[in-house]
Structure 1
Amino acid sequence: MSASDDIIVIGAGIVGLASAFHLQGEGLKVRLVERGGVAEGASMGNAGALAFTDILPLASPGILRKAPRWLLDPLGPLSIPPCYLPRLAPWLLRFWRASLPDRQARSIAAQSALMQVASGAMEAMVREAGLSGRLRGDGNLQLYESEAELAAALPGWTAREAEGIAFEHVRGARLAELQPGLSPRFTAGTFTPHWKTVDDPYHFALALFDAVMARGAAISHGEVSALEPQGERVRVRLADGGALEAGHVVLAAGAWSRPLATMLGDRVPLETERGYNTTLPAGAFDLRRQLTFGGHGFVVTPLATGIRVGGAVELGGLRAPPNFARSEAMLKKAAAFLPGLRTTGGRQWMGFRPSLPDSLPVIGRSAASPRVVYAFGHGHLGLTQSAGTGRLVADLVTGRSPAIPLDPFRPDRF
């Protein structure tokens, strides 16, 4: 039993690490508890984007229109194994409700506010942790196969424009300049110049872990079996029979957060998006910046460690074995979209994205105790929103007024 920690952060993925870093900035002593290896969940194999301009929720009328067609293709951008559908039905109903225009508008406003905090907090954290050399500012290029596809995307760009987000619709020579070697099937694109990526998301997270440890953090490895608020302390019980104790606990265990929240009486509808990718060797293509093939649900990202082809959504829970045919299908499409892409020598990966129906994370206090703070459910935006979440967690733990209203992110909003 350790009673010397001010804070225990459950989860040493990018959100947990960023929360630990910000809590240390308040002078607090932090212990990380991690069930596996540091940053070996979704933080290891994501697309590496700091997507501060990505304010549109997945739950939207556009996705609802596309979903029936996508679901007919078992290897397409959206897949739900039939055996998992009964369990997923309540989540899908909430997803549909979140797609209604008034609710979508509220989600966009909340996401935009969080992104503004996240952008500033990431800039400060990267500077203070000595990670500036790991960022790239090449922007992102969203690609369209027709003028009709671009036109269908315009309402989303109008919403971004209203939030002050810069972008440029491109065609012809400008499109070819931004990314040479595209298939001629792509006739237009939208360039967002302020989009950033990291050199490699796993290495970025490990470097942040090193910074957190250098500031005096401790780490325990083990699976948390229960959280027990006890007055001014919170006991953390481990599956091996051990226990830890601290003044506050931050639950940032990503896709594994739901059971612990449920034990505390917070029924958060967290689901798991299983994401797939293949990382090809460096030099497999002359890739100038991250490319988004939105009509096909995947991105291609230049990393220091290679070229990553990945994305799509498979709503299938934590227990089913990986279906790497999904990775192979995306790689086959990428080869058609980028003639000359060398597809040999790649490394496949599958990870779990913690996803909520309205595309917003849970950031707030547990109903069981104000000394338990939740920070999970970021979906595709964990890396992007990690530093902003860390700042908000520090606000909650220290009792400051949060940098933005947290009502849209509260655990009981469903």
Structure 2
Amino acid sequence: MPAQKKADVVVIGAGIVGAMSAYHLQQQGRSVLLLDRTGPAAGASAGNAGILAYPEIIPIPSPGIMFKAPKWLLDPLGPLSIRPAYALKIAPWLWHFWRASSRKAFEQGIAAQTAMMELAATEMARIRAIPGLSSFIDNTGTLDLYDSEASFNAAAHDWLVKEKAGFEFKRVGRAEIEELQPGLAPQFRHAMYSVSGLQVNDPKEFTRAVCAKAEAAGAVLKPAEVVDIAATGEGAVVTLANGERLDAGTVVLAGGAWSRKLAARLGDKVPLETERGYNTTLPAQSFALKRQLYFNDHAFVVTPLAKGIRVGGAVELGGLDLPPNYARSKNLLAKAARFLPELDTRGGTEWMGFRPSLPDCLPVIGYSTASRSVIYAFGHGHLGLTQSAATGKLVSDLAAGRATGISLAAFRPDRFR
């Protein structure tokens, strides 16, 4: 067996959450070894829509959701679907999803996400002020579009909740919609506009830039697959696929959709599932896109990137092993073409990535039940980029034994027991 090597902190996963965790830990004087199977920003951090979605505080599991879910799940190209081959495997996750839809759990989820989003906005503002990172974030504004007055009114309660949480927006009609984003189909006569909407214009390069900042501060980035974590009296032992063993003082598990198996090795059975997200990135000249567009009745977005236009959103629950179903991305692109009649859909690049999804839409952030030397930071679903800076700060607080800026009770790893 290869000799066991020493490490101060091992961060597992070089997506945006792992990158932010490594950066914060290095800034507080720790020595970080950042491990990833395929390198930085190789997964969901490369293909996300780039939205810093601070107002998204409403959990998907909500009172009455289970009456709507069957219709979604049975539509193979709908906003949320499960392939028949995966239905039995995901049954435990769906049970927890149902439990999270109770009125009490729903209200607790809103409170937890509101606190998390306040911290996320504060910490990302600090990141945005760092030379070399500020150029990645643009203030584009966000336009939430509805097909009809009925669907707009049906969402009124959600907007009221967001307003009470301190988010600012205004209702706009057709004339203002046309001014804010020319070229939309005439059916869109009802929308909400947020002038403060922020866009990461290149999520992949932004993640790599954060990794580079951590490396510049002394972190070491190493390509490696982790196959085991074992708690010890003074820390934890990390075992790599090549047989190498690392004796670490602290381990941060930020492996996204691949985190469940490693958490289970420590005795934590977290019901983490995999949302398979699809999108198409079109050339920048495909449409004169001015800002982020949410098509709320169809569960997809169109966002402006530095090098193109990204069309994506709908979710398939299908694990890590099933082959991609690119009919989903094609369906989204066809809808986008109807809603943006001048959109040129030629020359796009299709993508499918894995988002780590927990049934209550809250991430796992906290100590492993096996040891306070192992910190979990995974399961952010669609909000990994949005909450990455906050998560990195929370991880550094936990590693130092400091009080965290928000309560982590709602994010604890054992909450599903």
**TM score, norm. by length of structure 2:** 0.97
Distance in 2 separating the partners of 1:154 and 1:101: 18
Q: What residue in structure 2 maps to residue 198 of structure 1?
A: 200
Write out per-residue CA displacement over residues 342-376 of structure 1, whole angstroms, 9 at most, x where no aligned residue.
00000000000000011000000001110000000
Distance in 2 separating the partners of 1:125 and 1:201: 14
SS in structure 2 of the partner of residue 357 of structure 1? coil
1:171 to 164, 170, 173: 173
Q: What residue in structure 1 maps to residue 277 of structure 2?
A: 275
Counterpart contact for 1:228–1:235, Cα < 8 Å: yes
Write out per-residue CA displacement over residues 207-247 of structure 1, whole angstroms, 9 at most, x where no aligned residue.
11111111111122121111122221311101111112221
Aligned length in residues: 414
Distance in 2 separating the partners of 1:127 and 1:30: 23
Counterpart contact for 2:27–2:217, Cα < 8 Å: no
1:51 to 46, 50, 53: 53
Distance in 2 separating the partners of 1:220 and 1:133: 27
Distance in 1 separating the partners of 2:99 and 2:233: 38
RMSD: 1.2
Alignment of 1:144-163 (within 5 A): 144-163=146-165
Counterpart contact for 1:13–1:43, Cα < 8 Å: yes
Counterpart contact for 2:142–2:193, Cα < 8 Å: yes
Distance in 1 separating the partners of 2:131 and 2:45: 18
Write out per-residue CA displacement over residues 233-282 of structure 1, whole angstroms, 9 at most, x where no aligned residue.
31110111111222100000000000010110001000000000000001
The structural deviation recorded for 1:68 is 2.9
The structural deviation recorded for 1:61 is 3.5
Write out per-residue CA displacement over residues 45-91 of structure 1, whole angstroms, 9 at most, x where no aligned residue.
00001111111112123644442332342111111001211111111
Q: What residue in structure 1 maps to residue 309 of structure 2?
A: 307
Alignment of 1:62-211 (within 5 A): 63-128=65-130, 130-211=132-213
Q: Which amino acid aligns with 1:411?
A: P
Distance in 2 separating the partners of 1:354 and 1:4: 30
Q: What residue in structure 2 maps to residue 318 of structure 1?
A: 320
Q: Which moved more, 1:34-43 or 1:64-73?
A: 64-73
1:17 to 6, 13, 19: 19
The structural deviation recorded for 1:2 is 6.3
Distance in 2 separating the partners of 1:192 and 1:283: 25
Q: What residue in structure 2 maps to residue 361 of structure 1?
A: 363
Assess, with a 3 A threshold, how the Cα gap between structure 1 residues 62 and 136 changes in structure 2: closer, same or farther: farther
Counterpart contact for 2:170–2:194, Cα < 8 Å: yes
Distance in 2 separating the partners of 1:245 and 1:163: 44
Assess, with a 3 A threshold, how the Cα gap between structure 1 residues 99 and 360 changes in structure 2: closer, same or farther: same
Distance in 1 separating the partners of 2:390 and 2:114: 12
1:33 to 32, 35, 38: 35
The structural deviation recorded for 1:3 is 4.5
Write out per-residue CA displacement over residues 127-157 of structure 1, whole angstroms, 9 at most, x where no aligned residue.
2353111111111111101110001101100
Aligned residues with identical type, % of pairs: 57
Q: What residue in structure 2 maps to residue 409 of structure 1?
A: 411
Assess, with a 3 A threshold, how the Cα gap between structure 1 residues 224 and 54 changes in structure 2: closer, same or farther: same
Distance in 1 separating the partners of 2:338 and 2:74: 21
1:285 to 284, 287, 295: 287
Matched, 1:254 2:249: no
Unpaired runs of 5+ residues, structure 1, are: none
Assess, with a 3 A threshold, how the Cα gap between structure 1 residues 163 and 288 changes in structure 2: closer, same or farther: same
Counterpart contact for 2:74–2:82, Cα < 8 Å: no
Counterpart contact for 1:331–1:343, Cα < 8 Å: yes
2:384 to 382, 386, 396: 382
Counterpart contact for 1:233–1:245, Cα < 8 Å: yes
